[in-house]
Amino acid sequence: MCRRERRRRKNFNDCFILIDSIMPSGKKRKRHKMATHKRKKRLRKNRHKKK
């Protein structure tokens, strides 16, 4: 019981480190996506404006 719990905790830490190392690139990608989305939204708004 005790041994199994220790193993699970070790795996959890490995998983946490893995997520931690992946996160920064994910955040950058998300930020870039947001900027492009806003630009597209603005263009779409302009397209539907009455001239």
Return the sign of the alpha-carbon dihedral for residues 17, 21, 22, 27.
Answer: positive
Q: Can you give the pLDDT at residue 25?
A: 55
Number of domains comprising the chain? 1
Q: Is 19 exposed, middle or buried (0-12, 13-18, 19+ CB in 10 A)?
A: exposed
Q: Can you give the pLDDT at residue 31?
A: 54
| Residue-by-residue DSSP string for the chain | -HHHHHHHHHHHHHHHHHHHHHHHHHHHHHHHHHHHHHHHHHHHHHHHS--
Look up the pTM and report it: 0.28
Q: What domain range includes position 37?
A: 1-51
pLDDT of 42 strictly over 80: yes
